[in-house]
Amino acid sequence: MTDLVERLVPDELWVLFRRVVPPTENRRPQGGGKRRAGDREALAAIVFVATSGCTWRQLPPVFGPCWQTVYRRFAQWSRERVWARLHRVVLDELGARGELDWSRCAIDSVSVRATKGLLTGPNPTDRGKSGSKIHLITDRNGLPLSLGISAANMHDSLGLEPLVRGIPPIRSRRGPRRRPAKLHGDKGYDYAHLRRWLRSRGIRHRIARKGIESSQRLGRHRWVVERTVSWLAGCRRLHRRYERKPEHFLAFVGIAPTLICHRRLTN
């Protein structure tokens, strides 16, 4: 195993990955054929594509499996929601150690340009060019708790309820938890029905009001989610959406926060 594979997929991440990846049969029923490429090498190649932004065809041969094999493994794991489960187990590890701060969570979104495909639409902030939007909720430290994707022309307010519902039950020292104590948002979420919905779930809110106050007043609490958006940009595959299939784009959106949370886990 090369040093690059071990650097991209350290032992701690590999142990967690093996907990969520479905078992595979290495032997063919008819016998013969090549030995199945290792999952760790394939995972390292996928992480390389996610972080470097290279195309599948540009994968260097150092990983072992060819790019077609890596892509098939990526597509298979995406169908089986491996990336969402991996993010969940990393969050569980952080929660068990008391590393998640639920006291002041923040919600935001970021738009990226996209080629044609499902869940794309004209971006109102980019001269109507086709794009997709990444929605996210972070804890007080900026660790991503829930993410989703939509067309770029979907209003931010429509993502709040699915994002909050999408927070999985995460381990903590006081038992599983999935609701923030308080949620901060900008004027894009300034709607009475959203405030009522948050209150009905026992979540306090701090949302900037249109025409009354500036979103900048929330800056001392919302800057963490804006910093997380810049962390997501470290996954270069998210700079522009090349995947026509939304589940493949969502897979990269799931890989990026997993790497962010894992760095906190190992620091």
What was the pLDDT predicted at 126?
Answer: 81
Position 30 pLDDT exceeds 70: no
Query: What percent of the chain stands above pLDDT 70?
Result: 91
Please state the three-class secondary structure of the chain as a single string. CCHHHHHHCCHHHHHHHHHHCCCCCCCCCCCCCCCCCCHHHHHHHHHHHHHHCCCHHHCCHHHCCCHHHHHHHHHHHHHCCHHHHHHHHHHHHHHHCCCCCCCCEEEEEEEEEECCCCCCEECCCCCCCEEEEEEEEECCCCCEEEEEEEECCCCHHHHHHHHHHCCCCECCCCCCECCCCEEEECHHHCCHHHHHHHHHCCCEEEECCCCCCCHHHHHHHHHHHHHHHHHHCCCHHHCEECCCCHHHHHHHHHHHHHHHHHHHHHC
Q: pLDDT tens for residues 131-165?
A: 999 999 999 999 999 999 999 999 999 999 999 99
What was the pLDDT predicted at 185?
Answer: 92
What was the pLDDT predicted at 220?
Answer: 62
Q: pLDDT tens for residues 188-240?
A: 999 999 999 999 999 999 998 887 665 555 556 678 888 999 999 989 999 99
What was the pLDDT predicted at 209?
Answer: 86
Average confidence score pLDDT of the chain = 91
What was the pLDDT predicted at 113?
Answer: 93
